[in-house]
Amino acid sequence: MIYFISKNSLKPSAVNREIYINMDFLYPEANVTEIQIGIN
């Protein structure tokens, strides 16, 4: 994501989020996290 932002001359804002789509405490390799980066 950072490469794409830099390559396209975008400016990230201070707003960032992690959204936990799937949390599996027994099998952490099955966890799915969505990361969102705000753009100005």
Could you read off the pLDDT of 17-35 as tens digits, one per residue? 999 999 999 999 999 999 9
Which pLDDT score, from 0 to 100, does residue 27 have?
96
Q: How far apart are CA 17 and CA 3, in angstroms?
A: 18
The whole model's pTM is what? 0.67
Listed in sequence order, the residues at least 6 apart from 13 whose beta carbon sits closer than 8 Å to its beta carbon are 37, 38, 39, 40
pLDDT of residue 8: 96
**pLDDT of 36:** 96
Q: Check residue 39 and give its pLDDT.
A: 94
Quote the CA–CA distance of 30 and 25 in Å, as a whole number. 9
Q: What pLDDT does residue 20 have? A: 96
C-alpha span between 12 and 31 (Å, rounded): 26
In percent, the amount of the chain with pLDDT more than 70 equals 100
